[in-house]
Amino acid sequence: MTPEVEKQIEDLVSDREKFNKFVYTSVNDAVNELEKRRSENLQSRVTKFLSVGVPEALNNQKRAVVFRQLVTPNYELRRFISLVDAIDRFSPLFFEYANDKYTDNNEWKYHLGKMLFYAGTGKKGGEKITRLNIIDFNTSRGKKISEVRTIWGQSLIDFHHELFDEVYKEKNKEIAFFDASQWFSKSGGNAKEYYKNFLALFVSHGLLFENFMLDVKELTFTKDIFLPAFIQVLNETGKKPLIVALEPTEVESNLFWMCHPYNTKEFVDSKLNSV
């Protein structure tokens, strides 16, 4: 990384307004810009830039994308699907990473194993959240996500997908899943290596819905992995990746987004009671 890029990154992370303007594109502008870029034949340039190729799921289709190691229908991803529903002729695509290592140090992965159920606010204004452990953390740490099993013996992936299907059974034909494990492996295998290729996909092949945070928990990732990759793609293609803020940035770190609606708890309880 050059001193100029390092300074640019420091300037961005020290000014939230500047960061948001640099990184994010509004939904309407992103849709229009993607159409414009496709007419400019940018896709062929990006394909040449990507030695690992473009995943088939992004070819010749209008896709809005979220990347999570394992998808579960919490409030964050319900918001994503609602946002995509409002965009004409776009459909949701979930990138997953089944071969990634499970760790409870990552907030998303942690709450795949300790699920949260939101029941509104109490009399004093505090959030009412119920927590349920569905895995043995001691035996799950360090395993591939694809190897982690629930307390009742079901694959963790199969469980969260089953829950997703239960919630969105009427929309299953519209929603696509892509296990990007092999694609990420070919791109270097770790985020510092594969993130450049990942972001390059959103120059002309789709829209990424995501929040890149500047709080203590996420700042290292944003500074060391995301921004260097974003700037490299911008410099090498002449276009910035099209990223739409998934949650309003002023409430992006709220635990609410990790929660499931309380009525989902009944489905999980039925699994736990089968043990």
Q: Structural domain of residue 68, as residue ranges?
A: 3-272
Q: 14-62: per-residue pLDDT in tens?
A: 999 999 999 999 999 999 999 999 888 787 778 877 889 999 999 878 9
Average pLDDT over residues 73-84: 97
Q: 160-190: per-residue pLDDT in tens?
A: 999 999 999 877 678 999 999 999 999 998 9
CATH code for the domain of 54: 3.40.50
Tell which residue, 248, 207, 230, has the closest CA to residue 13. 230
pLDDT at res. 49: 78
Task: Give CA separation, 227 vs 96, 195, 222, 231, in Å.
Answer: 21, 10, 6, 6
The alpha carbon of 89 is separated from its chain's Cα centroid by a whole number of angstroms, namely: 21
When pLDDT is cut at 50, 70 and 90, the band that residue 79 belongs to is very high
Residue 73: CA atoms inside 13 Å, Cβ hemisphere, count?
23
Contact 259, 252 (CB under 8 A): no
pLDDT at res. 40: 80
pLDDT at res. 176: 94
The number of folded domains in the chain is 1
